[in-house]
Structure formats: structure tokens, C-alpha cells
Amino acid sequence: MHAAYILLQLLGTAGAVLFYGRFYMQWIASEMQGRSVVPEAFWYMSGFGSVSLLLYGVFSGSPLGALSHCFNVVIYSRNLVHIWREKGVLTPTRSRYLHSGIALLVLLGIILVAYTWTREYHNSQNTALSVQTKNWVWLAVGVFGQGLFALRFLIQWAVTELHKKSIIPAAFWYISVVACLLMMLSHIQREEWLYVIGLFLTLFIYLRNIYLVHYPRSTTSSE
């Protein structure tokens, strides 16, 4: 049991480093170019980190954590599709394998999320009504925050599909700030500190990108 706990924590930590660390990598790239940019590695880190945190959420009994990482792999993969297409490396065979794999991941994710939420419901039946109410209210806050997180990527996806090029619009970062705060509050109530710390560490990155969107700077010296 102790070994299983250690493995679970390693899985969650690795996922958090990839998923939340992607924004620090993105920040460094933006600072180097003097404007808000998203490098290709961001999408790889997003995908692998998200799958790891999905599994962590399921095995640790976090319904919100599991829900947060169920569907977003679709957005990440579509951005990679456009990046690979722009590079000229997306063959029809690769495209079929990629979309088939993503479909299987999403189906598995739906099953795991349904299992996690069903387990949460049954476990809450043994607690006082006031405790149940508080738990579900804060989960609702988290779900709303996750809805905003999903909305930001839907907007980003729509803009990307429109331009046939991976693009991050300014609205993405504004929505990220609000969603991040709501998700943090929900996870704090459940003492799910891995998610809380990860979300908190990305808040500065969102604010910094908002600044760079409105005040881009030149990377060349004016002297």
C-alpha cells in the first residue's frame, strides 16, 4: 500500500511538473522574444501532463481533478496537427493514428471520470447533509472554473482553426486568471494541494502574458 501511494504521488508530481511547468517554459520563450508566444513543446507537455493528472485524479479520488483533464487533450492534439501540417510532416497515416489515439483516450477518460464522480457520490452519502452540501457547492464552483478553462481553449481552438495556424488570443489569458482562482478555491476546500500549488504557480504567468499582449517589447537593442 505504501509503495502504491509513493507511485501515485510520483505520477501526480510528474504530471504537475509537465502540465503546470509548460507555462513557465512558455513564459521564458515569450520573454526571449519580447511578446506572448507559444512554442511547440507547450503542446507536448500539455498532452502528457494532462493524461498523468487525469490518472492521478482518478486514483486519488478527486472528481474535479479527473474532470479537468478529460477532454482537453483534443485541443492540444489539434494544435499539433496544425503545427505539423505547417511543417509539412503530417502524413495521412500519421493523421489517422493521431486522431484514433485521441478518440480512444477521450473515451477512456469519460469512463474514468464517470467512475470517479459516482464514487464521490456514494462516499458522500455517509456524511452529514451540511457536509454534503458544502462539498457539492465547492465542486460546482470548481466545475464552473473548469468550464471557463475549457472555454479558453475552445476560443483558442476556434481562432486556430479559422487561421489554420496555432494562435493564442488575448481572451485566453483573461479567462485563465478567473478560472484559475475559482479552481484554486475549490481544490483548497478539498485540501487537494497538488492541484492548488500547480494552479497558483501559473497565475503569475497568465498575468505576465496579459502584459506582454498589450505591451510587447522589441528583442533588439535600440542603441
Per run of 10 residues, the mean pLDDT along the chain (length 223 residues) is 85 93 90 86 93 94 91 85 87 86 91 95 90 94 92 86 83 94 95 93 89 73 37
Contacts of 55 (CB under 8 A, 6+ apart): 11, 15, 112
Confidence (pLDDT) at 93: 87
CA distance 88 to 15: 30
The residue behind cell 507547450 is 42
**CA–CA–CA angle 191, 196, 199 (5° rounding):** 165
Contact call for residues 168 and 156 (beta carbons, < 8 A) = yes
Contact call for residues 137 and 182 (beta carbons, < 8 A) = no
pTM, two decimals, is: 0.80
Confidence (pLDDT) at 1: 59
Cβ count near 37 (within 10 Å): 17
Q: State the alpha helices, DSSP H only, in 88-192.
A: 92-124, 129-163, 170-189
Confidence (pLDDT) at 126: 86
Distances (CA, A) of 39 to 30, 76, 109, 179: 9, 12, 26, 23
Every domain of the chain and the residues it spans: 2-214
